[in-house]
Structure formats: structure tokens, C-alpha cells
Amino acid sequence: MEDVPHLAKSSPGVVGPVVEKSALASTENSASLEQLKVRLTDAQKAIRKVRYTRQGFVPPGTMWRGVLLSDVADSEIATELGLSFETREISLTTEGEAKLWILERVLENPHLNAFQRIRANLQHKALLLEQGRAHMAAEKPGLTEMSNPNPHNTRAQIAKASGSSEGQVHKVETLLEHAAPAMLQDLEAGTLKIGAAFDALRAPSPSEEETTHYGVIYVDATLGLDAKRLRALPVPQLADDDATLFCRVHPCDLAKVLRCLRSWGFVYRTHLVQPLSRPLMGDFLQEGHDLLILATRGEVPTPGVEDCPSSMLPAMSADEPAPEVAYGVMERLFPEATRVQLSAAPGRANWTSWSPGRHLPASD
């Protein structure tokens, strides 16, 4: 019979057991443990909160070396409801065992999305292999040099355990290795699908001979690009380390564009409003304006313009492909920057034009 980890009960209280500061300070693994968990959605947390309100108590949490291994949402709900939250210390030998404990509880969750379930199974499998090698090495030195199990067989096992395909598992493996933190957050939250994220990583890039990176990038998101095609634009590859992104967008598509900004590594800073001469029908309202989003990445100083342009731009027709006034604002704010436009009409002086299959140099 396998040994069952010992749970030592702590004193009740919202914050759990009293842990010496030295013990907490030495627990540098709390962040890596927390990353393995799955956060409840707002709706799931609300349902759990109602259940705890009715029963009048919150189940005890599980601690290991001063780190809460169980769901932190229970502690938050207890605080919100003013209920006691007890914690119990679990006896585990290594951090690997603590990670396995978390992942096994994650995989018991019936509400995981496809990315979360594959991700957890991949991590669970890797930890089991790591522990197996460690045990064999302790008994028989030299076994750590054993070759890894056939990756295709492992991938098939992960796919079966996740109720998915080997292709999906391969995509998640690639995303975990190469995707930006913001993209991984969107995958965890379920606001981004595995296929769309994978396609964005494999976006067509500028030719290898083209080494220019740009300080200003303009994207027109009003030209019918769906979320998948928009996210696949090679903005990260074209942008300088310190760059400004301008993106024209219909108000009804704002949430889609903001998610793309995050996946590209940009942070929203402000926007300009461009009235339309003829309103367009949005999802809920007739929209009489477009937005010109300004986002940055890296260290972009505030432009030293004595007479800053107004955030309200002159009216334009709804089908105008490249409003002259918007270009004027971008060029005025960043007169010395190299500039590239994506999915916009080519031919603008001092702008390089990029579109799938072509990368045209700046016009004189």
C-alpha cells in the first residue's frame, strides 16, 4: 500500500497556520507552484461562493512549507464571507512531490479547457519521468543517461489522457516553449484557442535578408481581418525593442484588438477618436467613429511635441483606406522613427509596406 502524505492540522484562521518568516523566505518555489494551478473563472468562483455561504464553512486548505497548495480561491472566498479558513500542513519530501500533488488536483477538475488539460497532463508526465529517473539514479548510478521514451508514444498517451489529438498536444508543447506570457494567459483563460495561437507563432515573417526593425508600426484592423489573421501579423518580428504601435479599429472589435496587443507584447497607452461621416452598424450600436489605438513596448519616451494633436480627429468616410490625418499624427509624434504599415494601402512616403508575400521598401 502506498504511503499517504500526513496532514497536520493547523490553528483556524483566514490566513492559515503561523509560519516563521525564515521558512517563508526560504520558499522560493511558491511562484513555480502557483503557475501549475488553474484559476477559477468569475462565474465558477461565484457558484462556489454561493455553496460556501449556504453550508456556512469553507473546506480546509493544504499547505506545504508555508505555501498554499490548494485553491487560493477558497481563501479569498473565506475572506469575502468573513468565514474561518483553516489550513493543514502536508508532509511531502520534495518540490516535485508538491507539484504532482497540485497537478493531480488540477486534472480532477471537470471544467478545464483543452489547453489547460493538455498542459497539465504534459507537466504531470514530465514530473513522473523526472522522479522515475531520480529514483533509478539513486539506486543504480548511470541510469540518468538513459534515452528518453519515444516522444511519439508519450504524445499519444498525453492525447488519450486529455481527450485530444496528437496534433493538439504538439501545438501545446510548442506554445509552452515559445509563446509570450500574455498569449499563455489568454490560452489559460480560454479567450484564445490553441490553433489560433499556434498559427500566430508560425506567422509569415519578413525575409531573412530584411534586418530592419521599426520604431512605429501601423495596423488597420478595420479591413475585415478576423482574430486569427490579425494575431498572425508579424508585429513582434518587425517591431524594435522600443516601439510604438498604432492600430485603427472599429469599437465593436476593440476587445479582439486589445488581446492581440497583449500577445504581441505591447501595452495600451491611449487612443484617438476618428468620427465617421456615415455611421456603421456594430454589434449593439450604430458606431459613428473609429479608434486609433496607441500602444508601446519597451521604453518609449513621451514625444516632445509643443502642440500635441487633439485626440479628436476630423471626420472621414467609413471606407477611406488610409486617412491622411492619422498618418500626419503618427509622423508628427515620431518624426525620426522608422515606420512600417501592415494591411494598409502601400505608397505612403517614408513608410515601408508589408503584406503577406511581399515586403516593399519605404517610398521616397
List the grid coordinates of 247: 492600430
129 within domain boundaries: yes
Question: Lowest-confidence range among 46-50, 97-101, 146-150, 305-309?
Answer: 146-150
- Asked if residue 222 and residue 110 are part of one domain, the reply reads no
- Asked if residue 80 and residue 224 are part of one domain, the reply reads no
Question: 56 pLDDT band (50/70/90 cuts)?
Answer: very high
Rounded to two decimals, the pTM is 0.52
275 within 8 A of 235, measured Cβ to Cβ: no
Across 146-299, the runs of DSSP E, i.e. the strands, are 214-220, 239-249, 267-281, 286-297
Residue 233, domain CATH: 3.40.50.150
Percent of the chain whose predicted confidence (pLDDT) is above 90: 20
Write a three-state SS string for 91-149: CCCCHHHHHHHHHHHHCCCCCCCHHHHHHHHHHHHHHHHHHHHHHHHHHCCCHHHCCCC
C-alpha torsion sign, points 127, 129, 131, 134 = negative
77 within domain boundaries: yes
205 within domain boundaries: no
Look at residue 87 in the predicted model and tell me its pLDDT.
92
Question: 23 pLDDT band (50/70/90 cuts)?
Answer: very low
Q: What is the mean pLDDT of residues 312-318?
A: 69
Tell me what the pLDDT averaged over the chain comes to.
78
Question: Does the structure show a pLDDT above 50 at 7?
Answer: no
CA-nearest of 322, 261, 265 to 290 is: 322
Alpha-carbon span 181 to 176, nearest angstrom? 9
Look at residue 78 in the predicted model and tell me its pLDDT.
93
List the grid coordinates of 239: 517591431
- Asked if residue 239 and residue 111 are part of one domain, the reply reads no
From first CA to last CA, the distance across the chain in angstroms is: 78
- Asked if residue 232 and residue 342 are part of one domain, the reply reads yes
Percent of the chain whose predicted confidence (pLDDT) is above 70: 76
Give me the residue label for grid cell 491622411: 324
- Asked if residue 244 and residue 165 are part of one domain, the reply reads no
- Asked if residue 348 and residue 238 are part of one domain, the reply reads yes
Rama region for 28: left / alpha / beta (φ>0; ψ in -120 to 50; rest) = alpha
Range of the domain at 18: 7-178
Main-chain phi, psi angles of 80, to 5 degrees: -65, -35
Alpha-carbon span 143 to 137, nearest angstrom? 5
- Asked if residue 229 and residue 162 are part of one domain, the reply reads no
Tens digits of residue pLDDT in 277-302: 777 777 787 777 889 999 999 888 88
Question: 343 pLDDT band (50/70/90 cuts)?
Answer: low
Look at residue 77 in the predicted model and tell me its pLDDT.
93
Tens digits of residue pLDDT in 219-275: 988 877 777 788 888 888 889 889 999 998 888 888 889 999 988 989 999 998 888
194 within domain boundaries: no
Any bridge partners for residue 90, and if so which? Answer: 7
Q: What is the mean pLDDT of residues 62-76?
A: 90
- Asked if residue 254 and residue 161 are part of one domain, the reply reads no
DSSP 150: P
